[in-house]
Amino acid sequence: MAATDPAPVTLVVGDEELLADRAVGEVVAGARAADPGTEVHDLAGGKVESGELTRLTSPSLFGGGSVVVIRSAQDLAKEVVTEIVSYAADPAPDAALVLVHPGGVKGKALVDGVRKAGARVVTVTKVTKSAERLAFVKSEMKRAGRTIGGDAAAALVEAVGNDLRELAAACNQLAFDTPGKTIDEAAVARYHRGRAEVSGFTVADSAVEGRLGDALEQLRWALATGTAPVLLVSAVAGGLRSLAKVGGAPRNLRGGQLAGRLGMPPWKVERVQRQLNGWGPAGIARAIQAAALADEQVKGGGADPAYALEHMIQTVVASRTGR
């Protein structure tokens, strides 16, 4: 294979399915870029038989290369593992082998063996930290030729959730549908308004930031699309509790120390710190009381949940400015 072709043997290790699939896709794409006639054989580890790798990587009478993908490589039989490790030390010239292993103890002999034989290793561990998800969103936008601000990336994660496949799809759709180079928070809110507001985040943010008109409009839209009033109250109350937590934190703590003390991701601490502008302890207390009253009313203590929610929003915004 040419110097620009994929490595003869690639080991993809980790349990992040999307990234593992992409690593496999990159090998296949590279092989087909060099030779459009490349055959791809996609196999499950538990079903690979002894001698099958040799057969699939042997030169074809009709020419052309091949890519053999073995997923769930931890399930390979012992004799097949021995065959693959031996193959990795002396791979076929016109073939690429990709082994996908989730990590862990099972199948460790295969992982260690092909590593020692010189296989290219791609690590795709599960994305669990908020900072990693934000970095993923930014990298997705970069792949699409776009950029996205930190607040917009955080808003997208809040609206869509933590699943990388859903985040990737959301990034691609935003990049396709939104004009301009940069994706801002307003674009995320427009496109994902339904999902974000169903959980109440957009309503809560608008209220604690003092944007009365936006908060009331978003509240009415959420109610019109079937969002439960109790969920909207909960979101606003959660936003206010975050203000109280960050506002009451020791002043000598910064960055990661502060985030760890509060049990909040750093990006959220930074966002709440910005939202604290205009708030004082008395105002936060009044707003929290308003949320508690609205909670009681939407749970049966009042005749009109919509009125109770609007009154809560108005009181929260007024409490921020001290009026």
Mean pLDDT value across residues 52-60: 88
Residue 144 inside a domain? The answer is yes
Mean pLDDT value across residues 92-97: 92
> 288 and 243, same structural domain?
yes
Mean pLDDT value across residues 3-8: 72
Residue 161 inside a domain? The answer is yes
Centre a 10 Å sphere on the Cβ of residue 319 and count the other Cβ atoms it contains. Answer: 25
Per the structure, the count of domains in the chain is 3
User: Cβ neighbours of residue 319 under 8 Å, at least 6 residues apart?
Assistant: 283, 284, 286, 287, 290
153 has a pLDDT exceeding 50: yes
Residue 2 inside a domain? The answer is no
> 277 and 184, same structural domain?
no
Quickly list DSSP for 268-287. Answer: HHHHHHHHTTT--HHHHHHH
Binning pLDDT at 50, 70 and 90, where does residue 2 land?
A: very low
- What does the pLDDT read at residue 285? 93
> 139 and 119, same structural domain?
no
3 has a pLDDT exceeding 80: no
Using DSSP's 3-state secondary structure scheme, residue 156 falls into helix
> 37 and 83, same structural domain?
yes
Residue 68 inside a domain? The answer is yes
* Bridge partners of residue 69, in order along the sequence: 42, 98
Mean pLDDT value across residues 61-73: 84
Burial class (CB in 10 A: 0-12, 13-18, 19+), 156: buried
Distance CA 102, CA 106 (A): 9
- In the block, tokens 């509240």 appear at 219
323 has a pLDDT exceeding 60: no
Residue 4 inside a domain? The answer is no
> 65 and 31, same structural domain?
yes
Name the phi and psi angles at 76, rounded to 5.
-65, 145
> 119 and 131, same structural domain?
no
Per the model's pLDDT, the better-predicted residue between 60 and 184 turns out to be 184
* Bridge partners of residue 67, in order along the sequence: 40, 96
Decide if 70 contacts 98 (C-beta within 8 A).
Answer: yes
Half-sphere exposure of 153 (CA within 13 A, CB side): 22
Q: What is the pLDDT of residues 289-320, one digit of tens each?
A: 999 999 999 888 777 899 999 999 999 999 99
Domain final residue, candidates 162, 191, 220 = 191
61 has a pLDDT exceeding 80: no
- In the block, tokens 């917009």 appear at 152
Binning pLDDT at 50, 70 and 90, where does residue 193 land?
A: low
Binning pLDDT at 50, 70 and 90, where does residue 198 land?
A: very low
Name the residue type at position 151: D
Ranges 1-5, 144-148, 251-255, most confident: 144-148
Residue 56 inside a domain? The answer is yes
Decide if 160 contacts 136 (C-beta within 8 A).
Answer: no
Binning pLDDT at 50, 70 and 90, where does residue 4 land?
A: low
Domain enclosing residue 308, as ranges? 197-323
Q: What is the pLDDT of residues 227-242, one digit of tens each?
A: 788 888 988 998 999 9
- What does the pLDDT read at residue 212? 92
Report the percent of the chain where pLDDT is more than 70: 93
Kindly report the CATH number assigned to the domain that includes residue 28.
3.40.50.300
Q: Which residues of 297-316 are buried (b: 16+ CB within 10 A; e: fewer)?
A: bbeeeeeebeebbbbbbebb
> 203 and 323, same structural domain?
yes
- In the block, tokens 């043997």 appear at 9
> 187 and 170, same structural domain?
yes
Per the model's pLDDT, the better-predicted residue between 50 and 175 turns out to be 50
48: left (phi over 0), alpha (psi -120 to 50) or beta: beta
Quickly list DSSP for 202-258. Answer: HHHHHHHTT-HHHHHHHHHHHHHTT--HHHHHHHHHHHHHHHHHHHTS-TT--HHHH
> 243 and 276, same structural domain?
yes
Q: What is the mean pLDDT of the chain?
A: 87
> 117 and 174, same structural domain?
no
Q: What is the pLDDT of residues 105-143, one digit of tens each?
A: 999 999 999 999 999 999 998 888 888 999 999 999 999
- What does the pLDDT read at residue 202? 81
Kindly report the CATH number assigned to the domain that includes residue 149.
1.10.8.60
Residue 103 inside a domain? The answer is yes
Binning pLDDT at 50, 70 and 90, where does residue 217 land?
A: confident
Residue 105 inside a domain? The answer is yes
Domain final residue, candidates 92, 123, 154 = 123
Distance CA 117, CA 167 (A): 36
> 243 and 156, same structural domain?
no
Domain final residue, candidates 123, 151, 170 = 123
> 216 and 179, same structural domain?
no
Mean pLDDT value across residues 161-179: 83
Binning pLDDT at 50, 70 and 90, where does residue 67 land?
A: very high
Kindly report the CATH number assigned to the domain that includes residue 283.
1.20.272.10
